[in-house]
Structure 1
């Protein structure tokens, strides 16, 4: 009974820009926020999702109905903090796990991020699938904001299109991830996850991380054997400085990109990029490797994708998404460069695609 009383006292709602309202109760930080509402179909991994910089600017709706069961801990973070704008779930549970050091609600509150529970997340997911990802307003503060006012605030928000969020989430400074390895790789930080750096190190590479706005001259001054283009948030077309930098590096040093880095490599080679209706978010997306015919179950988080209709002849498609046939991988036909749209480092997700770090190493060896 006390729990129901607390929930009523913390009444909250999510207002979509198209006018639909989803009511629930608040947890985490008591601050209102705007963001783009998306859904993630992963069954586990909420802490890795919270700390993935690629979710900057978004309200993440988790389709799994029970969240918080195993708590949170310092070992499972994927970056230096939380970057999403808010979390939307159905049922919040108290943690019961020997690895847990704090609850999900405590982590959100400590990080200044709002959450809403009690939402009919199945209904919200269907709405986003049918009508597309939407700008939204999350009201959890208890301040006097009407539902109509919240809808107008959602509509007035600038959104993610045309916005350079890579510059907002990058660490903004050079640092060494590890000090051993027989190849030296420079990783561009557009919102890089720690498990990517672990994957590169496990493949025998010494990794130096540079900030998003690094120049080609600055990268080459590090004398790298290869360059890695990381994941990151929002619209790749807004990160023009990165496209120009990658274009200057093509042919001078081997390149590998994932997620945003994949899109930036495509743009640098002359491809076009467009927005997906509701994006790919989750760790159960099937991708076919066209070279082997194998199907990989992959972890994904992106709203934009390279256009297959206007792919330049210098690029070859290597992987496709089996749900919607979008491009999931490319390689350059004449230069040592390849990329994938999904996350081979997982965290969370299956390990089907971990071979890509070895493939990058093989490219360096050749």
Structure 2
């Protein structure tokens, strides 16, 4: 990175990422104190000192947000604290965007117009917002639609705006069926679709499965792909049913339809088999029901993709989160047994539940933590 001059009262010169480390720590401290002014000052001050907006977005704000998520998973941040930190981050991004001048237009070629949106049901909006700002900084014309965009509304927008490409973001694999519907609908009107986010799996494995025209691991890679593509192949749009023949067994559809019943019956079974669950307070029962609903949702997503690893990865992550919060995850095994009993006519679902059970029993139980200093 080139060294840039600073104001007399500014931070140290930008060299070897030292400044960005400093800015990350200042931003983290500000989020912990819920001090929006200090958070904005950390980022905007670094920008005034010469740090490029793209680096601040992707090398400061993005990793700090990842740290917020990790602290929530470890039980060191509550849900409200995580939401407050994320809201401050979003406003800091907006402030940085206002302070960043638009790049000079490229007179050699017209700018590409890209629509950036989260798929229907996806509320984790910050990755899409970061991508939108990176694209703007690189000279794209960007229509940023934000969180939870129903596919019919997305298609109506595209008909009105003349986009060259669409970038869809999703963080949760449970949104893959709706992401698939969005990808197929956009391609049906002749536009290419780039996807990104944790929902699409390691290396974008589910992006390929769902027929997206491209996948990017981060905003920088997405900007490179969008600068020259992705391009919609010639010919008729793909047939989603032909791409996922395993869906013909209807297991995904039937599990989704039975979600409420499965959660209710599994919760009742847990109370009958585990005295600790039977003694739960109303609030604890609500939390347990929420956890069961997530288990059913991820089971359904794994059936949609026909990938048991999607389900087992969620279960092992859940077990680690529960242990970090001082909750015995043993009830997860009983819950899987109850769900398997309810899926006696669904061989794929039973196989995924069995894989989940094996994954949970293979996870080592960590030693109890020592006293905190």
TM-score normalised to structure 2 length: 0.32
Answer 1 or 2: higher relative contact order, Cα 8 Å, separation at least 6.
1
Give the number of the structure whose alpha-carbon radius of gyration is greater.
2
Q: 1 or 2, which has the higher helix percentage? A: 2
